[in-house]
């Protein structure tokens, strides 16, 4: 068994981690949750120790892995403390605020023979997995352009933030999802263009970004997000020389989680037929096709299965150090476009 503890008892731990760690009952044991404030709106789970003394985690020899699910500004120091206490660490995204901090943590983990990794659960989003399946089918032909959108209509969020900060920026808070998807699948880009804006004016919250990553002489992958999209753009649009694939709807896991509908239900996170993407293409005989593509099943518990395999069985980490560093380098460069 891989025995796990959590630093932080908020939305991140209870919505995006615990349901998926606890799903793997034959591999994962959740033992302890630390929070400075013992009274939480989240109900306590039977069999888990809740504490406001972090040494209950650091001094427990049974705990193999500590998950840092706290505000991003605290990630670096907490992850460093976890490693210094001889524990493996899984850190929510964004992993750290700078690539230099990330390099330091990876070096420290290597020195101590430990694992430290960013929690990149969005690699296991249904829409992303389905898009990969379509690309790999070859029906689109040579790829020309991929558009990835992560939109909201939540103007109250940027309107409530009166000055710029890294910790509240949309770029750091959300591009860390989609950028990792790009890097994990397409690798290091040959060139990158950045447009990072404050739609409410200079000095305000960063609430919009559009990053273009170029591969070879023809392929452009765009990551675009806004807080001011009353009608959100499709999750994925993929153009090839022979066709196009459009996946309008995002992965359903987050929607279900927000309604407190958890992975213990057989239909958790499963797309309905009306959620399927549409593939349109011309085949090798010049015939036109338009068809629905049954969605792949997303499953964030695969992150914990990967960690089990790495820590217990010694397999390679699923999220490579260089991928996390590259993502942070892109974020560091992009955020400089903002007129602070």
pLDDT digits (tens, 9 = 90+) for 182-209: 999 999 999 999 999 999 999 999 999 9
Measured distance CA(335)–CA(333) in Å, rounded: 6
The domain locations on the chain are 2-119, 122-298+330-335
pLDDT digits (tens, 9 = 90+) for 104-146: 999 999 999 999 999 999 999 999 999 999 999 999 999 999 9
Please provide residue 87's backbone torsions phi and psi, each rounded to the nearest 5 degrees: -110, 145
Q: How confident is the model at residue 220 (pLDDT cuts 50, 70, 90)?
A: very high
Q: Is the pTM of this model over 0.75?
A: yes
pLDDT at 40 > cutoff 90? no
| % of the chain exceeding 70 in pLDDT | 99
pLDDT digits (tens, 9 = 90+) for 66-101: 999 999 999 999 999 999 999 999 999 999 999 999
Q: Tokens in use for 332?
A: 């560091």
CB 323 within 8 A of CB 182: no
pLDDT digits (tens, 9 = 90+) for 271-297: 999 999 999 999 999 999 999 999 999
pLDDT at residue 175, as a whole number: 95
Q: Tokens in use for 217?
A: 């002489």
Distances (CA, A) of 286 to 242, 281, 282: 10, 9, 6
Q: How confident is the model at residue 37 (pLDDT cuts 50, 70, 90)?
A: confident
pLDDT at residue 41, as a whole number: 84
CB 115 within 8 A of CB 136: no
Query: Which one has a higher pLDDT value, 185 or 339?
Result: 185
List all residues 6 or more positions away from 11 whose beta carbon is below 8 Å from its beta carbon: none
User: Nearest CA to 213 among 302, 69, 329?
Assistant: 329
Place of tokens 């959620």: 275
Angle at 31 between CA 26 and CA 33, to 5 degrees: 135
pLDDT at residue 194, as a whole number: 96
pLDDT at residue 328, as a whole number: 98
> What is the rounded average pLDDT for all residues in the chain?
96
pLDDT digits (tens, 9 = 90+) for 222-256: 999 999 999 999 999 999 999 999 999 999 999 99
pLDDT at residue 92, as a whole number: 97
Give the other-Cβ count within 10 Å of 216's Cβ.
10
Domain 122-298+330-335 has CATH 3.30.360.10: yes
User: Nearest CA to 270 among 257, 287, 252?
Assistant: 252
pLDDT at 177 > cutoff 80? yes
CATH topology of domain 2-119: Rossmann fold (3.40.50)
pLDDT at residue 229, as a whole number: 96
């Amino acid at each position: 068994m891989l025995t796990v503890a959590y630093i932080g008892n908020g939305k991140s731990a209870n919505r995006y981690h615990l349901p998926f760690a606890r799903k793997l009952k034959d591999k994962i044991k959740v033992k302890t949750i630390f929070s400075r404030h013992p009274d939480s709106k989240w109900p306590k789970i039977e069999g888990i120790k809740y504490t406001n003394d972090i040494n209950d985690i650091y001094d427990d020899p049974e705990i193999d892995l500590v998950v840092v699910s706290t505000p991003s500004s605290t990630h670096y120091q907490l992850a460093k403390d976890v490693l210094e206490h001889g524990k493996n660490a899984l850190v929510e995204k964004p992993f750290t605020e700078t690539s230099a901090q990330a390099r330091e943590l990876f070096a420290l983990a290597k020195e101590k023979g430990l694992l430290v990794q960013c929690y990149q659960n969005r690699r296991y989003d249904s829409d992303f997995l389905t898009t990969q399946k379509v690309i790999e089918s070859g029906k689109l032909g040579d790829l020309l352009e991929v558009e990835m959108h992560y939109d909201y209509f939540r103007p109250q969020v940027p309107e409530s933030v009166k000055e710029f900060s890294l910790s509240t920026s949309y770029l750091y808070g959300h591009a860390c999802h989609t950028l990792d998807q790009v890097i994990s699948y397409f690798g290091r880009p040959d060139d990158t263009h950045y447009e990072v804006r404050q739609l409410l004016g200079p000095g305000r919250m960063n609430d919009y970004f559009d990053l273009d990553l170029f591969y070879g002489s023809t392929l452009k992958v765009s990551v675009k997000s806004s807080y001011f999209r009353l009608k959100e753009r499709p999750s994925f649009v993929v153009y090839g020389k022979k066709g196009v694939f459009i996946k309008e709807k995002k992965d359903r896991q987050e929607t279900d989680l927000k309604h407190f509908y958890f992975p213990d239900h057989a239909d958790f996170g499963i797309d309905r037929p009306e959620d399927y993407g549409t593939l349109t293409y011309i085949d090798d005989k010049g015939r036109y096709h338009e068809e629905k593509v049954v969605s792949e099943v997303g499953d964030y518990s695969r992150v914990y299965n990967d960690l089990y395999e790495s820590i217990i069985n010694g397999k390679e980490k699923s999220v490579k150090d260089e991928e996390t560093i590259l993502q942070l380098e892109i974020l560091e460069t992009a955020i400089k476009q903002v007129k602070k």
